[in-house]
Structure formats: structure tokens, C-alpha cells
Amino acid sequence: MKRFVASLGLFSAMAGATGAYAAQPEPWQIRFQPAATGIMEEVAWFEEYTLWFLGAITILVMVLIAWCIIRYRASANPVPSRTSHNTLIEVIWTVGPVIVLLFLAVPSFQLLTSQFTPPEEPAMTIKATGVQWYWDYEYQDEENPLTFTSLMLQEDERAASGKEDVAQYPRLLAVDNEVVVPVATTVRVLVTASDVIHAFAVPAFGIKIDAVPGRLNETWFKAEREGLYYGQCSELCGKDHAFMPIAIRVVSQEQFQEWYAAAQDDLGAANSALMAAIENSNNGKKVASAN
């Protein structure tokens, strides 16, 4: 099953390699967003794994109910049984659920351990602070720190930001300043809030953690492919709760270094240069694939 999920992720990555990739909610979506991290692949696998148990249990219960309705209806069973207990049945319905819970608990604990235990020391740390109703980000680099605010992009700001493409920069999810991180890099995220409780959630990364005033919560991710990934505040935090999206752009190591150096002087110009570099790279891939 894990191999199947991994192959789906690889197929999605190959499909996204020829153009700009953005993981975002889709209309009538009933499944997860494509996994961009190993943790999210494990989450998707565990969800499919548990569905086998849930489906079997649901069918079993429905069959037992139907059997009781038919077998013990008044016309077929005019004199009801007065049996008070059955040792075999009691052993079965005690031992059976215990075994099922063990099969669910072991991979569940393994997944929880993975979610809170990075496989390596994080190469960079970003602090995300939830504010009513936007996010503040701080790259915690002792030599060259970088701090900026990320606000939801208004419709009349698209042209100035160069983000007219609604497919890549969707309404209510696009922001003026994305978080930029390098691909295949373990990133620690320190999450807090300045006013009320928020929540930092990026579905494609498999991360969701509360942002609590006066407290630092910690999570991490390691994006395995480049692209633009969206999330949202997932804790009801006031009237504009639905309007504080999260956008994380995953780029190559070289592109990240260039962006980070330029962002020290002019964040807007650095973002524009990065978008142009990504567009040129995608156009080159399209030409190469066409040939």
C-alpha cells in the first residue's frame, strides 16, 4: 500500500514538472491533496489502511442487525429466548475489538512519532505568528534574519503582484508574500500567536498545529518536490478567520539562496525575480518535453 501511495506521488510530481504546480483545494474534492512530504504519504496510507477495518466492521454490524431483525422477528420467534449470557460470544466481542485496536494503534503511534521526530537536524527554522487575520514570518538566521508579513491577496492587487493566474493563485488562498523554502530540506516551524488561538495547517505537507498566544509549538516538514502549496488557519479565530491563508513556495537550493539574499534588501523585488526565474524554468521544461 505504501508503494502504491508513493507511486501516486511520483506520478503527480512528473505531471507537475512540466508546468507550475500548486497544491490547493479543488471543487467537490473528497480525497487529500497530493502528498508533497513523506509524512503526508504516511497519513494517506494510514487513512486507506483504516478504511479496510472500518468497511469490514460496518458490513459486519449491518449483517448482524439484518440477521437479528429477520431471525428474531415476532412472527418467526413468538416465544423469545431468555438467554442472559453466552461465554463464547462475550470472549469474541472482547478479544476481537482488542485485536482490531492493536492493528490500528501500532501504525498510529508510529505515525505520531514520525510527525514529531524529524529524521535529521532541521537545516532552517521559521517562526510563524498568527495575527488577526494574517501571518507574520521570521527566518531565524543569526547572521541574516528575515521578517515579513503575509496577507491575503485582494483581487485588485493581482496585476501589481503579477498573480493574475487564478489557477495558480486562487481566490482567498493567494498571498502577497509566500514563505519560500528549498526543496528536500528539513524545515522546523515554530508556531505561536499574538492575540487569540489560530492554527497553522498545510494539507499537502501533513502538518497542522495550534498557534497559542504565549506558547511556542513546534512542527516540521521536508518538501520532496518544488511547487506552491496552500494552507489556512484551521482554528476559528474571529470574523476574518476564513481570510488568513498560508502559502509556501518550494524552490531549488539555488533559487532559494538567490531569493533570500535579494529579500534582505527588497522583498517585493526578490519575489518578482523568483517568480520570473520559476516561469523561465517551467517554460524550458515544456520546450524540452515537447522536443
Q: Where are the domains of the chain?
A: 1-9+30-73+85-117, 124-290
pLDDT-wise least confident of 8-22, 48-62, 83-97, 168-182: 8-22
The confidence score (pLDDT) of residue 285 equals: 67
The confidence score (pLDDT) of residue 15 equals: 38
Query: Angle at Cα 67 formed by Cα 63 and Cα 70, nearest 5°?
Result: 140
The confidence score (pLDDT) of residue 24 equals: 84
Q: What is the mean pLDDT of residues 184-213?
A: 96
CATH number of 124-290: 3.40.50.10090, 2.60.40.420, 3.40.50.720, 2.40.160.20?
Answer: 2.60.40.420
Query: Angle at Cα 111 formed by Cα 250 and Cα 14, nearest 5°?
Result: 35
pLDDT over threshold 90, residue 8: no
Q: What is the mean pLDDT of residues 16-43?
A: 79
Q: What residues are paired with 23 via a beta bridge? A: 229
Among 179, 180, 130, 134, which residue's Cα sits nearest to residue 153? 134
Radius of gyration, alpha carbons of the chain: 25
The confidence score (pLDDT) of residue 280 equals: 83
Residue 108 grid coordinates: 498510529
The confidence score (pLDDT) of residue 29 equals: 85
Q: What is the mean pLDDT of residues 142-168?
A: 92
Q: What is the mean pLDDT of residues 118-131?
A: 95
Strand-strand pairing, 124-131 and 217-221: unpaired
pLDDT over threshold 50, residue 202: yes
pLDDT over threshold 90, residue 26: no
Question: What is the distance between the terminal CA atoms of the chain, rounded to a whole angstrom?
Answer: 35
What integer best gives the mean pLDDT of the chain? 88
